[in-house]
Structure 1
């Protein structure tokens, strides 16, 4: 069922209270919408800029039902929202739908899903029991990366296996593991798209991404020729993923550019860190277009505003050096309202255009 477009003043619910929810709420406010944040953590940087905040467990059915009744449409800012409590939403109210969460929350299921659509992930093997670890590493080969099947992001829930001996004695959690062979790549890039409630799909230019310690450090345009030559193939797969999930909103698929073509890494059923450059660097940002899609509005133009755009993440205490950041006349500074700067914590970003 497709919802009618939401009139200004309607309330959009956001599941999750982090910086992505904050930026979605800011974009929604610009279009005249109110936002209601639902998150289990009391300290919510998204709630700071929203009209309403419900702080309750994901499994508090009464609170979730009240939240659903207050919102004309609901979206989410991260992919680890438990699926079962979302049954309170109906009639297309939740966008993207639960199908995207069910795929993205399980690394093994995600890889199988993409393979069935013709995509190429890294070599991998699922591990459900301790006794399967050695066989998986031997089958795929070392070195490789061992990953939890669920609840991993920004380098968390994964570790490098340099040799088969490194996996000896490894304990497998109840949710299982996935072992991946290392991919020899020239560059990393992402395909960021938005899909409307009517099935229209638009893409932003694909940035070249650089990671440090498993965390995105920089996204930049233009991407090198190795990437641009593989974008069309990667976009075709990303569109298939979005169509197969009947997706609504912004979705990102991350890829490795290799001599054998694009290798799928992972998908994010939400707005994405590598798309933050679009706030100043594109005609319509990923956040505004996500709100447009969820609200049933026409999508905005995704064209870039300059040939060169860079986005640098601010990690930890470096984010609070305002005199240094703001002394650069080309810097567009975004801080996320987080009071405590910890090592490895994303505190903000800087975008430079042109």
Structure 2
């Protein structure tokens, strides 16, 4: 098994780990992290590797790969499946899109618009993963963790998870510079049962389905439409397509005062009287179009030719190359619009 982070991340970047531990059970996972913590060894927990930018020098500590498995469901007994519910508990190491596919197949409603997102289940509450009008916070009932500070297992109800736009207490509460205080062991989802999706909340998806925003559609059709939309933006992993060698959306959509939003830019209401605008719009209108960087020689990195929010490895990139492109885009947007973009992926051993 390779100890190079490049072989375990969707960007295919990152040097070697000093020590690599693959944990296939909850007990192994807790033991690996606890032993490293007790020894004062830096720890990096890796799931699907879809949200990581790791330095070319690698990681001078212990990488713990979360490879736990298990899905259990407590399904309601209602004679009318549209009124029942499914309480589904999933090990942190399960692949997220496999869970979504299973949910659609079994008529578990609430995560269908999150199809095609790479990574592991355990990572989803950390970032409060969301797309096409859905967030995992809408269906998470509880998150079970190992508290690295208190050295014990805790369970947080959804209301105690501190969910916000692409954030949670699991992202904010730090144990050290390399990792969070809370090691996610499993996530429990409360999903409605039925054949139709949750109300479609995203205009682009509604249009693809031929329904009005707020209407429902068959679960399988929603999943197919989302996968097609994501594939069209290079957001479905494909080893043969360098546009998918990315960490997904590299920058979060800025949340700013309404008077800061440039004329013509999209804007949606956010908490505290603020508005959320489109990072992709800002990037493109600041002069960084799709494929930006491909005209250079050499061109190891570039914006995706399908989506300006994705920074991609064209096959020969280093992490330093990618970060240089990220700085160029971030600084260009700030110089043009006075809005500072914030990276969504976790940066390990490097910074912007």
Same fold by TM (over 0.5)?
no
TM-score norm. by structure 2 comes to 0.27
> What TM-score does the superposition give when structure 1 sets the normalisation length?
0.26
